[in-house]
């Protein structure tokens, strides 16, 4: 394990296991159920599981926990694999499926029946709930609990043959109906579902539950550390019970950590699905979604997401991480990796009447990294600047273009505002300025430096683009706790503008390429919709801004 990684209880635990003589390589697994798209919380689990394997020279499996066919689909299986790879990880060997172990699981169920440790129960779901008791009252034994081994065997075989209807019977473990741990009150091992499975088709009319499947899957694969979230802690005694009572080839160990929660987001798959189904967003990969696919389409780089997951740490205490931390990781990565370009969002015509002739400027693509090279930009008599960058008059805090004051056009000349035209409503429609310098990049000869620098594009040589500006989807920090998710939505989470003008070269941006539009923020060429004929950029995130809040 590299020394620079901060310690956490998982790494400490594994180091301890290794020191205590764990003789096999560390093997972890990322075990999603294919019933939705992966989200930022899964990203955390992925970096934990794949990261641990990597740090300890072990391996990590990708295993679909597909024990509930009615909620699962091939679409999710495909998207999950794509997302894991995009995040930068490759699983060891083939993709695994819990469903590939159905026959083994079935045989282990027979074993438990044989041992008198499992029985077929005919209680209806409602009756079973009654018999289960409550948190403070013990449950009662099912009237079917003492069936003979042969009767249980015969009944379970009939279940497997599809002779009963859905919900008619279940197979339960015989543990302790009075246990203070609800999971030990004769948990269900198999339920009847005449449902076609995306992997096994109609081969099985019965499906194992999570509890009966997960630990055994881990055992089959030789998983050394089965890492899951805190809510499964109460299941660990049951996990261990199966491992102890079944002839499994290996004893995996379950360790729980606190799931990742980030402010202003929701990670319930059920609720995310509702946003998609209700068309509140444009799909699972809408750039406002906390899904991996959404973050990707928003322009969040995979290395930034991985770095964020490492930075927040891994512990056992519930909490909520400030979204600003993820955003910081994104800005940090993009600042170093995104080439600079100019985009004028709210164009205002600027005329340089005394510019002798159009000139071609060589402008750096990155202020701190020469490897990005430079690009040629045309500076003509007529330009566009942002409306926000001009005022007829302003106090000294306004470092942009003002009548009678100087400002530099990024990478070009220093100019001075002279006058402006307005329409009948008083709206400024054109600004006139004179050139103070004649050589690009030079300072004024009189030594009076410009107040600031503004960005611009050539009126003639720029091209229109659609800019999709995103803001957080929810306006409350903890939408998961809102009584009504819909009322917590931010009505301005998406603002589309077709007014923007961009440098012509931006037309040729590759899908998913991210640029910094100087003085604005980071923008990504939309993965699907961007084209040279119709450039479309999604705002990834704005630049940090210490001005607008205090003065603007």
Partner RNA sequence: UGGGGCGUCGCCAAGUGGCAAGGCAGCGGGUUUUGAUCCCGCCAUUCGGAGGUUCGAAUCCUCCCGCCCCAGCCA
Q: Catalytic residue positions?
A: 33, 259, 269
170 binds RNA (CB under 7 A): yes
321 binds RNA (CB under 7 A): yes
Q: How far is the CB of 297 from RNA (least distance, A)?
A: 23
Which alpha helices (H) appear in 63-124, and where do they start and end? 74-86, 102-114
| d(C-alpha 508, C-alpha 531), whole Å | 8
Which x/- pattern, by CB under 7 A, does the window 65-94 give for RNA?
Answer: x-xx--x-----------------------
Where in 237-266 is the site for RNA (CB under 7 A)? 258, 263
332 binds RNA (CB under 7 A): yes
230 binds RNA (CB under 7 A): yes
Q: How far is CA 131 from CA 120, 141, 155, 172, in A?
A: 15, 7, 21, 13
366 binds RNA (CB under 7 A): yes
How many angstroms separate the most distant Cα atoms in the chain? 104
Name the token pair of 77: 């299986």
Q: Toward RNA, which CB reaches closer, 471 or 529?
A: 471
- Work out which of 95, 110, 188, 403 binds RNA, going by CB under 7 A: 188
Name the token pair of 420: 């402006």
Where in 413-442 is the site for RNA (CB under 7 A)? 440-442
551 binds RNA (CB under 7 A): yes
Q: How far is the CB of 292 from RNA (least distance, A)?
A: 17
314 binds RNA (CB under 7 A): yes
Annotate 333-383 with three-state secondary structure: HHHHHCCEECEECCEEEEEECCCCCCEEEEEECCCCCHHHCEEEEEECCEE
- Options 153-161, 362-370, 422-430, 491-499: segment touching RNA (CB under 7 A): 362-370
Which x/- pattern, by CB under 7 A, does the window 30-69 give for RNA?
Answer: -x-x-------------------------------x-xx-
Name the token pair of 79: 């998207």
Q: How far is the CB of 552 from RNA (least distance, A)?
A: 7
360 binds RNA (CB under 7 A): no
| d(C-alpha 474, C-alpha 468), whole Å | 17
CA angle 431, 520, 327 (to 5 degrees): 165
376 binds RNA (CB under 7 A): no
- The number of angstroms, rounded, from the C-alpha of 43 to the middle of its chain's C-alpha atoms is 6
Name the token pair of 506: 């931006």
Name the token pair of 216: 């055994």
Q: How far is the CB of 470 from RNA (least distance, A)?
A: 18
Q: Are 494 and 470 a contacting pair, CB within 8 Å?
A: yes
- Options 37-45, 275-283, 312-320, 347-355: segment touching RNA (CB under 7 A): 312-320
144 binds RNA (CB under 7 A): no
26 binds RNA (CB under 7 A): no
């Amino acid at each position: 394990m590299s020394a620079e990684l901060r310690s956490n209880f998982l790494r400490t635990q594994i180091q301890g296991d290794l020191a205590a003589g764990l003789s096999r390589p560390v093997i972890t697994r990322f075990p999603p159920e294919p019933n939705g798209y992966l989200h930022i919380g899964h990203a955390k689990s992925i970096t934990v599981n794949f990261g641990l394997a990597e740090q300890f020279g072990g391996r990590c499996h990708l295993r679909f926990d597909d024990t509930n066919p009615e909620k699962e689909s091939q679409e999710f299986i495909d998207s999950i694999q794509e997302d894991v790879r995009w995040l930068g990880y490759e699983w060891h060997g083939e993709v695994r499926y819990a469903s590939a172990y159905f026959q083994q699981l079935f045989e282990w169920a027979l074993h438990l029946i044989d041992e008198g440790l499992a029985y077929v129960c005919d209680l209806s779901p409602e009756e079973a709930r009654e018999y289960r008791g409550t948190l403070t009252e013990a449950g009662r034994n099912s009237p079917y609990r003492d069936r003979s081994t042969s009767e249980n065997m015969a009944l379970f075989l009939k279940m497997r043959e599809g002779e009963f209807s859905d919900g008619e019977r279940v197979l339960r473990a015989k543990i302790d109906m009075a246990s203070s741990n609800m999971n030990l009150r004769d948990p269900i091992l198999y339920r009847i579902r005449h449902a076609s499975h995306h992997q096994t088709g109609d081969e099985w009319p019965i499906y194992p539950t999570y509890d009966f499947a997960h630990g055994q899957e881990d055992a089959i694969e030789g998983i050394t550390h089965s890492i899951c979230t805190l809510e499964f802690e109460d299941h660990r005694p049951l996990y261990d019970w199966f491992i102890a009572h079944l002839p499994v080839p290996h004893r995996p160990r379950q360790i729980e950590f606190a799931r990742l929660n980030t402010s202003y987001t929701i990670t319930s798959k059920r609720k995310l699905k509702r946003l998609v189904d209700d068309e509140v967003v444009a799909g699972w990969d809408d750039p406002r979604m906390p899904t991996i696919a959404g973050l990707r389409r928003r322009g969040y780089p995979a290395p930034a997401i991985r770095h964020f997951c490492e930075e927040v740490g891994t512990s056992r205490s519930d909490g909520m991480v400030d979204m600003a931390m993820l955003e910081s990781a994104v800005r940090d990565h993009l600042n170093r990796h995104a080439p600079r370009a100019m985009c004028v969002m709210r164009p205002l015509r600027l005329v340089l009447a005394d510019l002798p002739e159009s000139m071609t400027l060589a402008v750096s693509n990155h202020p701190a990294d020469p490897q990005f090279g430079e690009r040629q930009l045309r500076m003509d008599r007529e330009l566009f600047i942002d409306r926000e960058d001009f005022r007829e008059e302003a106090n000294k805090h306004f470092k942009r273009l003002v009548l009678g004051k100087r400002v530099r056009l990024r990478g070009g000349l220093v100019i001075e505002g002279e006058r402006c035209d307005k329409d009948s409503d008083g709206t400024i429609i054109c600004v006139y300025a004179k050139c103070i310098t004649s050589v690009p990049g030079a300072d004024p000869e009189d030594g009076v430096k410009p107040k600031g620098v503004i960005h611009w594009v050539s009126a003639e040589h720029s091209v229109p683009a659609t800019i999709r500006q995103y803001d957080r989807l929810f306006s409350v920090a903890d939408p998961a706790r809102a009584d009504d998710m819909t009322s917590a939505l931010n009505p301005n989470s998406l603002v589309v503008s077709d007014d923007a003008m961009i440098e012509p070269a931006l037309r040729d941006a590759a899908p998913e390429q991210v640029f910094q539009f100087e003085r604005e923020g980071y923008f990504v060429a939309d993965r699907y919709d961007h084209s040279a004929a119709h450039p479309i950029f999604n705002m990834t995130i704005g630049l940090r801004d210490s001005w607008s809040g205090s003065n603007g």
